[in-house]
Amino acid sequence: MPSSNPAFSRLGGAGNGQQSAGWGAQPQQYGAPTQHDPYAAPSPYAATTTQYMTMDDVVAKTGITFLVTVATAAATWALPGQTGWGFALPAVLIAFVLGLVIAFKQIANPAATLSYGALYGVALGAISEAFNDIYPGIVMQALIGTFGVFAGMLVIYKTGAIRVTPKLTRWVVAAAIGAFVLMLANLVAGFFGASLGIRDGGPLAIGFSLLVIGIAAFFLLLDFDMADEAIRRGAPAKFAWYIAFGLLVTVIWLYIEILRLLSYFRE
């Protein structure tokens, strides 16, 4: 079955009825035939050494990644005064570059995923502390909102209320690109003293934040589908680290946007 998720373009899947090579498949050899030795063939009852990814792997690796992120965020928040802000900007820049490398090269490595989580944890700790100082209690509200959206989309995915199809994937990715272009344009306009009104706390800003939260929620569906498809395709167990990375990116994006939306209502 053709993949509906672009992240599987490198998993060896071939659409349109073509049979793809599985993980660890040996290349076809050409040349003179060799004499067949039935006793040299591996036993069909021998245990395979390949470890395939399971849902338990996804849950465990994702849990570890989120734990590292929360721990570094809490440690940054606990620093005296505004010390955390001194580490926030370098952490964001390094995490941004690392995230691009992981995403485009599809690196399924615990060191890369956990490093990304730790770096963004530092930034989230400083950001959350700043928001909570201005709007007391807003961080807990944002965490509850993020968990609620995550749980809700997981139920929607598991019940099949919304099915992830190639068409849906294209629409979600296109919407995300459009939203990022608007945010970038608003940022550039800010350097010239202008504004598009999507981040000033007004009705347009509230509507834009709700739109972005909706896009991030649909990205959770793509992440869930990626995990299921990897399991169906027999991906190696280490690929769960890449799934954990994708979920972390989406959840961080969702949390920050909910935090921003709640600040608009507080104002």
Over its length of 267 residues, how does the chain's per-residue pLDDT go in tens digits? Answer: 444 444 544 444 434 434 334 444 444 444 444 454 444 444 444 445 668 889 999 999 999 999 999 999 999 998 887 787 888 889 999 999 999 999 999 899 999 999 999 999 999 999 999 999 999 999 999 999 999 999 999 999 999 899 999 999 999 999 999 999 999 998 888 888 888 888 888 889 999 999 999 999 999 999 999 999 999 988 999 999 999 999 999 999 999 999 999 999 987
Coil, strand, or helix at residue 231? helix
Three-state SS for 55-103 is HHHHHHHHHHHHHHHHHHHHHHHCCCCCCHHHHHHHHHHHHHHHHHHHH
Nearest alpha-carbon partner for 73 in 130, 117, 124: 124
Maximum CA extent, the chain? 81
Classify residue 64: in a domain, yes or no.
yes
Classify residue 44: in a domain, yes or no.
no
pLDDT for 12 equals 44
Classify residue 32: in a domain, yes or no.
no
Classify residue 17: in a domain, yes or no.
no
CA 239 to chain centre: 13
What pTM, to 2 d.p., does this model score? 0.79
Domain of 64 in residue numbering reads as 52-266
Q: Are 212 and 29 in contact (CB under 8 A)?
A: no
Classify residue 125: in a domain, yes or no.
yes
pLDDT for 49 equals 60
Per-position DSSP letters for 120-186, written without gaps between them:
HHHHHHHHHHHHHHHSTTHHHHHHHHHHHHHHHHHHHHHHTSS---HHHHHHHHHHHHHHHHHHHHH
Q: Are 225 and 6 in contact (CB under 8 A)?
A: no
- What length is written for the chain? 267
Cβ atoms < 10 Å from Cβ of 250: 21
Classify residue 131: in a domain, yes or no.
yes
Classify residue 23: in a domain, yes or no.
no
Q: What is each CA distance from 32 to 4, 35, 50, 196, in whole angstroms?
A: 41, 10, 30, 70
Domain tally for the chain? 1
pLDDT for 63 equals 95
Classify residue 103: in a domain, yes or no.
yes
Q: Are 73 and 124 in contact (CB under 8 A)?
A: yes
